[in-house]
Amino acid sequence: MKNIFCILIVTSLLFTLGCKTEAVVDVTEDSQEFMSTVFTFKDVKIKGDTLIVNVQYSGGCGDHKFEIKQNGFLMKSLPPKQPVQIIHLSTVDQCRSLINEDLKFDISSFRGTPHGTTVLLLKNWTPDIIYSY
């Protein structure tokens, strides 16, 4: 009888501990998640410490934001080369308008030397971008 009681207790504990609990997440219609979205470069130029990029993407109803970041380590060449990329983040956007937008990014953090020139290698843009400062 004692063995049966122990088996019942152990079995009950295993079932209790084996049950997974799920966290309930309150999702409202206002919550929007940004995800990476495609876009096309139309023109790229530099003015001082600012990279000016003309991009084209579809949308018109959702929120869109763009970020620039390093896409690898600074190459120790003469002049140094810095791979960079621009990322388009968007909420779900069902609209199909073709949007052209000029974006401006501060690129002073991509300087490869204190004074001189750094070549920016922009992902999905073939020509090298000469950044002189």
Q: Looking at residue 92, what is its pLDDT? A: 87
Measured CA to CA, the distance from residue 124 to residue 36 in angstroms comes to: 15
Q: Determine contact, residues 43/126, Cβ cutoff 8 Å.
A: no
Burial of 33 (0-12, 13-18, 19+ CB in 10 A): exposed
Find the largest Cα–Cα distance for the chain: 87
Measured CA to CA, the distance from residue 44 to residue 66 in angstroms comes to: 15
Mean pLDDT of 42-47: 98
Measured CA to CA, the distance from residue 49 to residue 96 in angstroms comes to: 33
In the predicted model, is pLDDT for residue 31 greater than 70?
Answer: no
Measured CA to CA, the distance from residue 57 to residue 93 in angstroms comes to: 11
In the predicted model, is pLDDT for residue 46 greater than 70?
Answer: yes
Place of tokens 């300087």: 111
Q: Looking at residue 7, what is its pLDDT? A: 58
In the predicted model, is pLDDT for residue 18 greater than 90?
Answer: no
